[in-house]
Amino acid sequence: MKLVIQRVNIASVTINGGETRSIGRGLCVLFGAGAGDGAELIPKLAEKTAKLRIFSDGEGKMNLSALELGLEVLVVPQFTLFADTKKGNRPSFTGAAEPEFAKNAFESYCAELEKYSLKKLERGEFGAHMLVSLENDGPVTIIMDTREWQRNA
First to last CA, the chain: 16
pLDDT of residue 62: 97
Q: Is 21 left (phi over 0), alpha (psi -120 to 50) or beta?
A: beta
| pLDDT tens digits for range 67-81 | 999 999 999 999 999
41 pLDDT above the threshold of 70: yes
pLDDT band at 27 (very low <50, low <70, confident <90, very high): very high
pLDDT of residue 153: 63
Number of Cβ within 10 Å of residue 64's Cβ equals 16
- Stated pTM of the model: 0.95
Q: Which residues are catalytic?
A: 78-80
